[in-house]
Structure 1
Amino acid sequence: MAGSPNSNLRGFNYAVQTLLKQPAQFLPHLTIPTFTHLPENLGPHLINSSSPSNQATTTTTTQEKKQQLRTPSIRALVLDKDNTLCPPKTTTFPPKILDKLAALRNSPTSPFNLTKNPQSILIVSNRAGSHPNYDSEVASLEKQLSHLQIPVFRLPAGTEKKPFCGDEVVKWFREREVISSPNEIAVVGDRLGTDVIMSGMMGSWSVWCKEGVFEVGEEGKPERNLLEKMEVWIEKYLREKKGLKAPAPRGWE
């Protein structure tokens, strides 16, 4: 486990460096309001949403055209906890979130069906599972999700938090023969600076839950903090003003 339960200064610094050097890596492949809007069949949505409607005019290369003809086959989900599945710093699942998880696990057409692909969903948090201080959170989450068999990732000793634990997450799925390639994974979370950047480091696809746990106007929805406001502004600026789009995962040729 990492030594400090709270600090992720290196992650913040890495996000800033990425924004300065490779700003497109800051952009998600798909943006949805909340986790409840996640499509069951993700692949077509990841491709169709990667080109912003208001982007500047660019020349589409032959390679890009080939990539657009392919559809990702997503066999695994990495889910953030805080402000994606639960309100921040809690283990309380809103009923609609639990309903969505149950649908993904029980639908006969879902790639994440419990019977057909039982180890296809993993919660990866920078809180629960990242330090022994949060072991009670892990126990609470897994107890509530025991009927759906959704585990919490335990950060291996000596491994840093998101976005730096991507290789270990990929290894977790490989060892269980869920995937053959990282581009069969979609990372779903509310933070561009951790969840989206980690997906790029993994060679996976990213889904940004822009509104967090609560829909716009929903009771209990907190105001965005400063970092969250900055991420929303930066994403819009890069997409609309700079004409950038999320790059396909490495190896997606």
Structure 2
Amino acid sequence: MAGSPNSNLRGFNHAVQTLLKQPSQFLPHLTIPTFTHLPEDLGPHLVGAAGKGPAGTPQLTSPEKPRTPRIPKICALVLDKDNTLCPPKTTTFPPQILTKLAELRNSPTSPFYHATNPHSILIVSNRAGSHPNFDGEVRELEDQLAHLRIPVFRLPADTEKKPFCGDEVVQWFRERKVIQSPNEIAVVGDRLGTDVLMAGMMGSWSVWCKEGVFEPGEEGKPERNILEKMEVWIEKYLREKRGFTAPAPKGWEE
């Protein structure tokens, strides 16, 4: 975790290179307005991407018959903090976000029910948990979520921020016996260049919260910054103009 607490220049460079070489990796498997719209049973909502190749073209088992896609089994959630769970650079959870987290943790039908899957939700932020400067934020977040048993990921020493810490996140879930494969994880966040790219590097599924933490038109919703505007434009261009779709996680078709 050495270096500037806010620097992620390598992440920006990686996003640019990916956009040039593998643009479909920029696309999420599922797009929702905000985290409050996240389906409890995610698998069926991701299945549209499960039969797609790297360029978004259907994979066929024979010349005549398309492959029937499997339904992903999602056992773990990786949640971004800034502009996904809280307004940027704050530890303030809007009431509707806390309600949604409580529903996911307290519903016996939820795959993330605390009694049967206690380690299934992890906050992974490029702020809280990424540098000692933000240790206060970690304590504030975990104090508020203690009743839901949702921790913040501490970036190990000499590990880079999202999108490069995916292997460490997968290992965190493996050590707690939450998953057997990375394709049982869904990464949920507001940024294509970090959250969605990390999901692809992990071999996991991605969910893009397109509007961030605020609903469209909600009072207090800030204007998108330049990078956020660019990502929205890029996603629309790749999907509508180029016809790309998100590739299934690596290994999913094997």
Give, as a single letter, the amino acid of the residue that structure 2 aligns with 1:148.
Answer: L
Residues 226-245 of structure 1, C-alpha deviations (whole Å, 9 max, x = no match): 00000000000000000000
Q: TM-score, normalised by structure 2?
A: 0.94
Q: Deviation of residue 4 (structure 1)? A: 1.7
The 2-side partners of 1:57 and 1:205 are apart by: 15
Q: Which residue pairs with 2:181 in the alignment? A: 181
Q: Secondary structure at the match of 1:24?
A: helix
Q: What are the superposed Cα offsets for residues 95-142 of structure 1, whole Å, 9 maximum, x if unpaired? A: 000000000001110000000000000000000000000000000000
Cα displacement string for residues 12-60 of structure 1 (whole angstroms, at most 9, x for unaligned residues): 00000000000000000000000000000000001136799xxx99665
The residue type equivalent to 1:3 in the other structure is G
The answer to whether structure 1 residue 83 and structure 2 residue 98 are counterparts is no
* Secondary structure of the structure 1 residue equivalent to 2:89: coil
The residue aligned with 2:250 is: 250
1:62 Cα shift? 2.4
Q: Secondary structure at the match of 2:147?
A: coil
- The equivalences for 1:24-63 within 5 A come to 24-48=24-48, 60-62=59-61
For 1:107, the aligned partner's letter is: S
Find the counterpart in structure 2 of residue 170 from structure 1.
170
On the 8 A contact 2:51/2:59 being kept in 1, the answer is no
Matches within 5 A, 1:71-110: 71-110=71-110
2:193 corresponding residue in structure 1: 193
Give the letter aligned to residue 28 of structure 2.
Answer: P
**TM-score of the aligned structures, taking structure 1 as reference length:** 0.95
**Given residue 13 of structure 2, which amino acid in structure 1 is its aligned partner?**
N
Correspondence 1:151 to 2:144: no
For the residues of structure 2 that align with 1:149 and 1:189, how far apart are their CA atoms? 20
Distance in 2 of aligned mates of 1:238 and 1:70: 25
**CA distance, structure 1, for counterparts of residue 60 and residue 211 of structure 2:** 34
Give 1:12's aligned amino acid. Answer: F
How many matched pairs? 249
State the secondary structure of the residue aligned to 1:98: helix
Provide the secondary structure at the position in 1 that maps to 2:246.
coil
| Residues 9 and 176 (structure 1), Cα distance of their counterparts in 2 relative to 1, 3 Å cut | same
Aligned-residue CA RMSD in angstroms? 1.8
Cα 1:151–1:223 shift into 2, 3 Å:
same
Which runs of 5 or more residues in structure 1 are unaligned? Answer: none
Q: What's the CA shift string for 1:208-249, capped at 9, x where partnerless?
A: 000000000000100000000000000000000000000000
Confirm or deny: 8 A CA contact 2:40 2:104 kept in the other structure.
yes
1:220 and 1:189 map into 2 onto residues whose CA distance is 20
Look up the equivalent residue of 1:62 and give its one-letter code: T
Q: Could you list the per-position Cα deviations for residues 74-111 of structure 1 after superposition, in whole angstroms to 9, with x for gaps in the alignment?
A: 00000000000000000000000000000000111000
